[in-house]
C-alpha cells in the first residue's frame, strides 16, 4: 500500500475508532431490529424512498425518532421529509430511468456541498490536456440520457411530474380494486407508495403465482412473479408497475385477462407440488422453451418457402 494511502487510512481509523458498521438490508425493518444495532451516538441512516419490490414507503420518521431516543441523547429529528432542509442529509440519489421518465439507464446523485463529497470517489484524469476531476462512471458512455432527463425536467416541471404520478396512482387503484373484486388475491403493496400493485394468491394449493405469470404471457402481459427478500422468502407475489402509458382501459383489460387465466387454471388438474413449487416453475420454463422452438420453426419454414437462405436479418 502506498505511504500516502496508508496515512489517509490511519487518519480515518483514528476518527472512527473501534466503531463496527453493519448494513441492514431488509424490506421489513422493525424497530426492535434497528434498536439493537450500534452504540450511543453511532447511528447512521440510509433512507430508501419507495421499495421497488412492494412499492411501499416505510414510515421511517417514527422509527428513526424512536431509535434515536433509545440510543442517543439527541433531540427529536424530522425524517418524514428527505431533502437538504435537514442538516444531516448530505446526499440524495435518484433513478431517472424509473419515474424520472427517462429510458434506461440514468441515475443521478446530488451532494449538499463539495465538502460532503468524499475525495475517494473523485477520479482525476488529464488525458485531454488538463486535470479533470469527475465522480461519474460513464467514461465513454453517450450523454443522450442526460439530455433527455434535462429536457423532461424543463418541459414537465414539478406540476407536470405531479400530474403524471397522480394519474399513475389512480390507475394503480383501478387495477388493485379489480383484483380485489376477484376474491382470489391478497394485495401486498400499499396505496401510499410507488404506483405499482403487488399481489399474491390467497390459496396456492392448486396453482401458484408462477403459473399465472406464465399464462398471462399468451395475452401479451409480462407480469413477473418472484419470492420476497430474506425473512419473507416464503411469500410469492406478482407485480405490475404502472407506467405513464398504462391507461385505465389497460388496467381493466388486465383484470379481465387475469380472470380468464384463473378460469383456465381452475379447469386444469391440481399441480404436483415438489420442493416448494420448483416443479411448477420448471414446467413453466419448459413451456416457454417450447414456445420459442415453435417460433423459430415457423420462421424457418417461412424463409425456406421463399427460397431465401442467406442475408436474413
The least confident of 15-24, 58-67, 102-111, 118-127 is 15-24
pLDDT confidence of residue 50? 62
Between CA 148 and CA 100 the distance in angstroms is 10
Residue 17 pLDDT greater than 60, yes or no: no
Residues 197-219 have a mean pLDDT of 91
Cell for 270?
391440481
Query: Could you tell me which residue, 186 or 47, shows the higher pLDDT?
Result: 186
Is the sign of the CA dihedral 291, 227, 250, 180 positive or negative? positive
pLDDT digits (tens, 9 = 90+) for 41-51: 455 556 666 66
SS3 223: coil
Best mean pLDDT range from 100-114, 131-145, 165-179? 165-179
Q: Which residue pairs, CB below 8 angstroms and at least 24 apart, start in 35-39?
A: 35/66, 35/67, 35/70, 35/71, 38/71, 39/71
> Domain segments of the chain: what residues?
1-89, 168-300
CA 242 to chain centre: 13
- DSSP H helices in the chain: 3-16, 31-35, 60-71, 144-181, 209-216, 248-267, 278-305
pLDDT band at 84 (very low <50, low <70, confident <90, very high): confident
**Rounded CA gap, 223 and 208, in Å?**
14
pLDDT tier for residue 211 given thresholds of 50, 70 and 90? very high
> Could you tell me which residue, 10 or 168, shows the higher pLDDT?
168
Distance CA 113, CA 115 (A): 5
Q: How confident is the model at residue 77 (pLDDT cuts 50, 70, 90)?
A: very low
Number of residues assigned to the chain: 313
Instruction: Dump pLDDT digits (tens) for 217-263.
Output: 999 999 999 888 777 778 899 999 999 999 999 999 999 999 999 99
Q: Does the pLDDT value for residue 272 go beyond 50?
A: no
- CATH of 168-300 given 3.30.460.80, 3.40.50.300, 3.20.20.140, 3.90.1150.160: 3.90.1150.160
H or E element, residue 128: none
Cα(175)–Cα(181) distance, integer angstroms? 10
The chain-wide mean pLDDT, for the chain, equals 74
pLDDT score for 164: 95
- Return the DSSP state at 219: G
pTM above 0.85, yes or no: no
Q: Residue 5 and residue 28: Cα distance in Å, rounded? A: 39
The pLDDT of residue 248 is 94
Q: Which residue has the cell 378460469?
A: 263
* Cα of 77 vs its chain's centroid, Å: 27
Q: What is the pLDDT of residue 205?
A: 84
pLDDT at residue 284, rounded to an integer:
60
* 277: Cα separation from own chain's centroid: 25
**pLDDT at residue number 311:** 38
How would you classify the pairing of strands 132-134 and 185-187? unpaired
Q: Which residue has better confidence, 15 or 305?
A: 305
Amino acid at each position: 500500500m502506498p505511504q500516502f494511502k496508508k496515512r489517509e487510512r490511519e487518519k480515518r481509523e483514528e476518527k472512527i475508532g473501534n466503531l463496527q458498521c453493519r448494513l441492514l438490508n431488509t424490506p421489513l425493518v422493525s424497530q426492535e431490529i434497528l434498536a439493537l444495532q450500534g452504540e450511543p451516538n453511532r447511528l447512521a441512516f440510509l433512507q430508501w424512498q419507495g421499495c421497488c419490490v412492494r412499492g411501499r414507503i416505510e414510515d421511517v420518521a417514527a422509527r428513526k425518532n424512536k431509535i434515536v431516543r433509545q440510543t442517543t441523547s439527541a433531540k427529536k429529528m424530522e425524517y418524514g421529509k428527505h431533502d437538504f432542509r435537514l442538516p444531516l442529509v448530505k446526499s440524495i440519489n435518484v433513478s431517472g430511468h424509473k419515474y424520472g421518465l427517462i429510458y434506461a439507464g440514468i441515475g443521478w446523485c446530488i451532494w449538499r456541498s463539495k465538502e460532503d463529497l468524499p475525495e475517494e470517489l473523485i477520479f482525476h484524469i488529464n488525458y485531454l490536456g488538463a486535470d479533470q476531476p469527475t465522480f461519474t462512471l460513464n467514461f465513454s458512455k453517450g450523454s443522450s440520457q442526460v439530455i433527455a432527463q434535462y429536457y423532461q425536467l424543463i418541459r414537465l416541471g414539478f406540476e407536470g411530474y405531479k400530474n403524471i404520478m397522480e394519474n399513475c396512482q389512480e390507475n394503480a387503484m383501478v387495477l388493485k380494486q379489480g383484483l380485489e373484486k376477484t376474491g382470489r388475491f391478497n394485495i401486498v403493496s400499499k396505496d401510499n407508495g410507488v404506483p405499482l400493485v403487488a399481489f399474491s394468491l390467497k390459496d396456492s394449493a392448486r396453482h401458484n403465482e408462477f403459473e399465472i405469470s406464465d399464462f398471462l404471457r399468451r395475452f401479451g402481459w409480462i407480469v413477473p412473479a418472484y419470492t420476497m427478500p430474506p425473512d419473507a422468502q416464503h411469500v410469492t407475489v406478482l407485480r405490475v408497475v404502472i407506467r405513464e402509458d398504462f391507461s385505465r382501459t389497460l388496467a381493466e383489460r388486465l383484470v379481465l385477462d387475469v380472470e380468464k387465466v384463473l378460469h383456465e387454471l381452475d379447469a386444469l388438474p391440481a399441480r404436483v407440488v415438489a420442493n416448494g413449487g420448483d416443479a411448477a416453475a420448471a414446467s413453466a420454463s419448459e413451456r416457454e422453451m417450447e414456445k420459442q422452438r415453435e417460433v423459430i420453426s415457423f420462421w424457418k419454414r417461412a424463409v425456406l418457402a421463399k427460397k431465401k437462405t442467406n442475408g436474413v436479418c
